[in-house]
Amino acid sequence: MNAVAGLLREAYAALQRGDAAQARLRCEAVFAQDPNNFDAWRMLAVAAQALGDAPRGLAAATRAQQLRPDDGPAALDLGTRLLHAGQAAAAAPLLQLAMQRLPQDARAAFRYANAAFQLGDYATAAAGFAAATERDPNWPEAWNNLSAAHSRLQEYPQAIAAARNALRLAPQDPEAHQALAVLLSNLFDRPSLLEGLRSAERALQLDPNLAAAHRNAAVLLRKLGEPVRAEAHARRALQLQPDHTGSVEILGDQLILNGRGSDAAAIYADAIGRGLDTPVLQRQHGIALLHAGRAQAAHEQLSAALRQQGDDQRSIAHLGVALAADGRVADAVDLLGLQRHIHAIDLAPPPAYADAAAFHAELAQDIRRHSQQRWEPAGLAARQAYLSGDLLADRTPAIVGFEQRLRAAIDAFISDARQRQAGTDAHDDVFLRNVPLRYRLHVWATQAAESGYIDTHIHEDSWLSGAYYVELPEAIADAAPDQADPDPDHAASGHAGWIEFGRPYAGLPQWPADALRLVRPQVGRLLLFPSYVFHRTLPYQGSGERISISFDLAAA
């Protein structure tokens, strides 16, 4: 064993002086006498990596971790190698172990968070990056990544706070200023937007050719009502990065907002002609053609985009608009399934409650005091309303009971959709052809009083969306028999507080009123509909709250 100890010392010394080849030879000599020597396998992993032999380095790190499965440094080494090799799922448990075994090591927390972020588990990522900043408060990258994780969770106040810390540590870094500007661009109040613009402009002072800062300045100026300056920044971003699809899209969108749909269509056509032929740009080209009044060309372009990406919700939504604008309203209604794919299901209260009234009263109270309740959260369609964030984060009896009823209804709906898919030509049905095999669910609640409403929107990252009604004011009532053809505002025509399906965004060609679908909310009723359908809730006048629960279901 003295010989082995000597060889280990020589291997370590070789690594210290940068002689990886000698270190490898000494480790191999150790294995001739002690094949399971943990330290030799650890050093061989380092030597092999230094020699450019990543596979052997990974194999050596794997063997070391097998020999000591609870060793923190070994888990950190192997987890890091797997993470860098693009194997985040395999890396995550090892890096979690390293984070636990090495409570002072910021790298372990940071890398575990990176693995979680790559896997789409942004809550875990945020916790990991927060741990990294606690272990090393002066690490700008950890603060930046913490900001990014909070941003993915739409936790903008926390994201902005983290970005400010990163900027405090790196005040001359243009990317740090740009990161803060991006976050502030998600807000709607003028002071935040002005601060965001100052951050973007400071980034451009430090790096005038930072295309991302020009893009973000364009977005901020758009929200601040300065379309000419917004267009100038968007054009500069495209000049700096002509092959960046985001630069093309921001300029195209700005031209549409500036009332120049034909110019926007030309920008998209040029980009596609230069080889940027992505489904997103195909779709945006079609939308620009709609704004240019070229419905038939828009139909052709959006159909092409949908052939490339058959589950793109925005393409489907705007294809319906194009068909209607081309005089084919019945075809548009059929494409979107406004009559056959919007369903109402009455949910029974959970068995723990005496009746529906008791259940809804408790559920409404849980929503009012939800831990994630936010007023007009940034970037979302709620106006004059509270949103809960992740409703299921609070595990009260009423919320858990509702979740059980909701999941049962969803599973039954998907089972029925699969049967309908098998019994029809599913390829021709843009909803049924995309029934997911597995799904993930996001659930949130909305609490709105008089004048509160949800503006026109779609849920572009989902397949199925829904709304469940917990409490409704008396103002939301049945319509009179002579009000089947409502006016655009509806509030004065007996449909106040209803949910409307089919009306596209303002600025797009509008559907005839009789092609819209209006549904009166009912307490205890679940509405299910395709995520691509334009919809909005209508404001109402009078006392009382409208409390509802919404969800998005996306393929996992």
pLDDT at 450 over 80: no
Alpha helices in 51-105 (DSSP H): 54-67, 72-84, 88-101
Lowest mean pLDDT among 376-390, 422-436, 451-465, 534-548: 376-390
CATH number of 259-335: 1.25.40
Class of domain 188-248: mainly alpha
How far apart (Å, rounded) are the C-alpha atoms in residues 465 and 463?
7
385: pLDDT confidence band, cut at 50, 70 and 90?
low
Residues 185 and 209 sit within 8 Å (Cβ to Cβ):
no
Residues 192 and 186 sit within 8 Å (Cβ to Cβ):
no
CATH number of 343-555: 2.60.120.620
Residues 261 and 255 sit within 8 Å (Cβ to Cβ):
yes
| pLDDT (0 to 100) of residue 424 | 64
How far apart (Å, rounded) are the C-alpha atoms in residues 260 and 476?
40
| pLDDT (0 to 100) of residue 492 | 42
How far apart (Å, rounded) are the C-alpha atoms in residues 166 and 173?
9
pLDDT at 480 over 60: no
Q: What is the mean pLDDT of the segment spanning 511-532? A: 93
SS3 548: strand
| pLDDT (0 to 100) of residue 512 | 85
Q: Is the Cα dihedral 328, 334, 337, 340 positive or negative? A: positive
Domain ranges of the chain: 188-248, 259-335, 343-555
Q: Is the pTM of this model over 0.85?
A: no
Lowest mean pLDDT among 290-294, 349-353, 509-513: 509-513
pLDDT at 186 over 90: no
How far apart (Å, rounded) are the C-alpha atoms in residues 156 and 160?
6
How long is the chain? 556
- Between 415 and 377, whose confidence is greater? 415
Whether 259-335 and 188-248 are alike in CATH topology: the answer is yes
Q: What's the pLDDT tens digit per position in 3-42?
A: 899 999 999 999 999 999 999 999 999 999 999 999 999 9
| pLDDT (0 to 100) of residue 483 | 46
| The two structure tokens encoding residue 472 | 């409704």
